[in-house]
């Protein structure tokens, strides 16, 4: 339980950092949209580079968190899915006393809530990264479209690297050991896994 709380705290910390980065990008984006002349100003380019570097450093930090938590999350997923499936099976198909079934039902609800919390917080990281990547992608697209005069060969190469970086980090977050990225769609995967377990058991 303490490890789970620690993971949620880390995820919440990541959410806060993402929100901070997103607010700064939105300010930059607002300045970019507000004045056409601003689009040809090197100041906005400098701000954009700083924001992109900050986001890249954040992704490195997120990668370290992911490396640390991957094994734990994977074990929890497998263990909790087995417990949830077993508890449902026992509650439905066994002839145990009603009060025991109530205890099993309480345990089932607790495990579903805990697993749901992991998916919610881990999925939130991916969702926020997608939103940030979209905003950064919007700015890079407009830099290319308006062909800013200060975008010399060096800066164009830098812009190309930024575009490649945005594509790579738009889907980053917490992974399982098999490489599966935990998103909000993992709720559906959870239902599928439990269903498969029942089919195999029955």
56 within a domain of the structure (yes/no)? yes
The pLDDT value given to residue 151: 52
Mean pLDDT of 140-160: 57
For tokens 């190309």, the residue is 160
113 within a domain of the structure (yes/no)? yes
pLDDT for 19-64, tens place per residue? 888 888 888 777 766 655 545 566 777 777 777 778 878 888 888 9
For tokens 């300010």, the residue is 27
Q: Which residues constitute the domain of residue 124?
A: 2-15+43-201
Tokens of 197: 């377990």
The conformation of residue 58, written as its DSSP 8-state character, comes to H
170 within a domain of the structure (yes/no)? yes
pLDDT for 60-84, tens place per residue? 888 899 999 999 999 988 888 888 8
pTM assigned to the model? 0.78
Among the residue ranges 32-36, 140-144, 165-169, 187-191, the one predicted with the least confidence is: 165-169
26 within a domain of the structure (yes/no)? no
Domain count, the chain: 1
9 within a domain of the structure (yes/no)? yes
188: left (phi over 0), alpha (psi -120 to 50) or beta: alpha
The pLDDT value given to residue 144: 62
Q: Residue 133, Cβ neighbours under 10 Å: how many?
A: 19
What is the residue-averaged pLDDT of the chain?
78
Mean pLDDT of 98-104: 80
Mean pLDDT of 148-166: 54
35 within a domain of the structure (yes/no)? no
Mean pLDDT of 156-177: 65
Indicate the SS3 state at residue 180. coil
């Amino acid at each position: 339980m303490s490890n789970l709380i620690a993971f949620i705290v880390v995820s919440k910390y990541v959410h806060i950092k993402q929100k901070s980065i997103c607010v700064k990008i939105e300010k930059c984006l607002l300045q970019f949209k507000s004045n056409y002349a601003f689009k040809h100003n090197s100041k906005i380019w400098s701000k954009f580079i700083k924001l992109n570097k900050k986001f890249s450093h954040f992704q490195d930090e997120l990668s370290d968190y992911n490396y640390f938590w991957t094994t734990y999350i994977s074990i929890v997923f497998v263990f909790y899915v087995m417990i949830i499936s077993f508890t449902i099976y026992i509650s439905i198909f066994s002839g145990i006393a009603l009060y025991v079934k109530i205890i099993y039902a309480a345990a089932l609800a607790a495990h579903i809530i805990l697993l749901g919390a992991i998916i919610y917080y881990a999925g939130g990281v991916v969702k926020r990264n997608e939103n940030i990547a979209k905003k950064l992608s919007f700015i890079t697209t407009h830099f290319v479209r308006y062909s800013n005069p200060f975008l010399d060969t060096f800066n164009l190469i830098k812009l190309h690297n930024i575009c490649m970086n945005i594509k790579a980090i738009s889907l980053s977050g917490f992974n399982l050991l098999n490489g599966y990225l935990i998103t909000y769609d993992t709720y559906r995967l959870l239902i599928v896994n439990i269903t498969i377990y029942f089919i195999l058991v029955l």
